[in-house]
Amino acid sequence: MNKEDLGDLEQTLGVKFKNTDTLRQAFVHRSYLNEHTDFPLGHNERLEFLGDAVLELVVTENLYANYENPEGELTNWRASLVNAEMLSKLCNELDVEEYLYLSKGEAKDKASKARKYILANTFEAIIGAIYLDCGWDVAKVFIEKHVMKELPYILEHRLFIDPKSRFQEAAQEHVGTTPSYKVLSEIGPDHEKEFEVGVFISKEHIATGKGTSKHEAQVAAADEAIKLKGW
């Protein structure tokens, strides 16, 4: 793959750029510039800032135009469409990770939580680049094609409700009991702890989750419990 030739990337995105450097900059992570001070482009954070605003407005406008639900519901739906988990997934689906400009350390760390946020931020930066180079209409088509298509699945599986709430609702519906959570272990120094939390129904250990906070581990455990129970 030649990073200098962005023709395949433009084809993947379905967008033809007037200035391909605008698109290339969407993939430049700050860490890369620390190791390549002579690189001619800046990092992607300003494009990310712009893309975040464009994304939120397109999604908001689409929801407002197509659904007459109350504000609170639409807000939850929007949040489920534009959160880091969703945007990193969408970036992975585009299969554009090879175009990233990363430091050697970041490039090796593919499975980390940090990589998820890098991909989510890159997706927003791509939107910012499309808006800047091609305008509102092209950016809107891109967002509606790649982001709004996720809404039916989100609504069908109630993913706009956080996993803890969903598992609690399901447990009360199926067995009439509220789940409980227990910290099974915590390792690492105070500034870098990892928690392992179990979720229980009565005394039955249903699933385990890990996270850098107790809440994050509880959410991971609830999410896994939903999958295991088929609820």
Name the pairing type of β-strands 194-201 and 204-211. Answer: antiparallel
CA-closest candidate to residue 100, choices 118, 82, 112, 124 = 118
H/E element, 47: helix 45-66
Number of other residues whose CB lies within 10 A of the CB of residue 180: 11
Task: Please name the residue ranges forming H helices in 157-199.
Answer: 163-175
Residue 46: φ, ψ to 5°: -70, -40
Q: Please, which residues have CB within 8 angstroms of residue 98's CB and are 6 or more apart in sequence? A: 1
Which of the following is catalytic: 48, 106, 124, 133?
124
Catalytic residue at 95?
no
Which of the following is catalytic: 52, 133, 223, 224?
52
- Number of residues in the chain: 231
Catalytic residue at 45?
no
Q: Which residues are catalytic?
A: 52, 124
